[in-house]
Amino acid sequence: MKSSYLAHGKVILIGEHSVVYGYNALAMPIQALNIRTDVEDYDQLWMDTKLYQGPFYDAPSDYDGLKYVVKTMLEKANSDEKLKITYTGEIPMERGLGSSATVALGTTKALNDYFNLNLSEDEIMAITNHAEMINHGKASGLDAATVNSDYLVFFNKQDGPKMIKSKLGAYLLIMDTGELGNTREAVGLVRKQLDSSVDANKRIERLGQLADDTMSSWTKHDSQKVGQIFNEAQDILASFKLSTPKIDDLRKIALANDALGFKLSGGGLGGIVIAVCDSQQTAKKIAAKSKDLINESWIEEI
Ligand SMILES: C[C@@](O)(CCO)CC(=O)[O-]
């Protein structure tokens, strides 16, 4: 017997970090980046990824979220079946592209099919979110919701995801700095500042407001305004020490070459950055000018 599930990555447009504290955020799926999870019977419980091939529970601690998913699903199926779980495709890890949520969701859904468990969407998301908690210490649920959506997601912890089908009428340039951004560390760094500074709390609140402002500008197709909001959000994220010298350099290049706005995306401390552009040509020009600083880039119509 065999089952498989293809899950895609995500990019946070605005609201990273503030979403952990209950504010709204906006994130979009990236269909071009995806990972397929295949489950089949085998002579032992086995993991097969590009970076690790071996007994599932002996995998490095980076995979602790997945170990939780497999253990939970085997318990729900009341099974001790030996399985080989193979992950194919690539989403660069620790970049804010949702790789951990993608494989957690893919594993939960593939095992749900394999064992015919018929779990509800809520049960599947609860397992995926718990894996994300294990991976990141504190997870808002935004990543899991977005890798499970084919549309833009407006999200807060209380109400969950709301699908947004309208387009802004612009292009999003996504650039991978190649620097590993550790989400657990980034979330902890913000937490520490919030615990000791009233001003830090005001800045997080403002970040939440900026997500609301983005949503209203989005429905008015006001890409200039969204660009301005991105720039302010980047200033706030940088004030929490989540930016890096490379991100700061990329910002200068993007803004000097007609980007409407620029910010980091995801946990920060490296990872990906995003720029809103009025045309595909502008996005391509910025990517070309940034080529010595980045690993890869993608352009999405938004
Ligand atoms: C930094 C953060 O807001 C996004 C990580 O992709 C954490 C979270 O939402 O769980």
**What are the tokens at 245?**
């010298």
Domain termination residue (choose one: 163, 181, 209):
163
Q: Ligand 1 centroid to 115 CA: how many Å?
A: 31
Radius of gyration of the chain from its Cα atoms, rounded to whole angstroms: 19
> Looking at residue 90, what is its pLDDT?
84
Cβ < 6 Å from ligand 1: which residues? 12, 16-17, 19-20, 96, 136, 139-140, 142-143, 183, 186-187, 266-267
Range of the domain at 242: 166-301
* Residue in 142, 154, 193, 241 to alter for ligand 1 test, most ligand atoms within 8 A of Cβ: 142
The number of folded domains in the chain is 2
What residue ranges of the chain have pLDDT lower than 70? Answer: none
> Looking at residue 137, what is its pLDDT?
83
Protein residue with least CA distance to atom 6, ligand 1: 266
Domain termination residue (choose one: 140, 163, 186):
163
* Residue in 26, 93, 94, 143 to alter for ligand 1 test, most ligand atoms within 8 A of Cβ: 143
If asked whether residues 125 and 235 sit together in one domain, one would say no
Q: In angstroms, what CA-CA distances link 39 with 64, 71, 72, 127, 149? A: 18, 14, 15, 17, 22
> Looking at residue 1, what is its pLDDT?
86
Q: Ligand 1 centroid to 254 CA: how many Å?
A: 24
Q: Ligand 1 centroid to 16 CA: how many Å?
A: 5
If asked whether residues 106 and 172 sit together in one domain, one would say no
Q: Ligand 1 centroid to 208 CA: how many Å?
A: 13
| DSSP character at residue 255 | H
* Residue in 129, 130, 187 to alter for ligand 1 test, most ligand atoms within 8 A of Cβ: 187
Maximal C-alpha separation, the chain:
59
If asked whether residues 176 and 239 sit together in one domain, one would say yes
Distance CA 153, CA 163 (A): 5
* Beta carbons within 8 Å of 198's beta carbon, 6+ residues apart: none
Backbone φ and ψ for 154, nearest 5 degrees, come out as -100, 125
- Which ipTM value was assigned to this complex? 0.97
If asked whether residues 259 and 159 sit together in one domain, one would say no
Q: What is the pTM of this model?
A: 0.94
Point out which residues pair with 261 in neighbouring strands: 276
- Which is the closest atom of ligand 1 to the Cα of 138? 10
If asked whether residues 148 and 259 sit together in one domain, one would say no
CATH number at residue 150: 3.30.230.10
- Which residues of the chain form beta strands (DSSP E)? 2-14, 25-41, 46-48, 53-55, 83-88, 152-156, 160-164, 171-176, 261-265, 272-277, 296-301
- Which is the closest atom of ligand 1 to the Cα of 266? 6
If asked whether residues 144 and 287 sit together in one domain, one would say no
Domain termination residue (choose one: 163, 196, 221):
163
If asked whether residues 141 and 80 sit together in one domain, one would say yes
Distance CA 200, CA 285 (A): 36
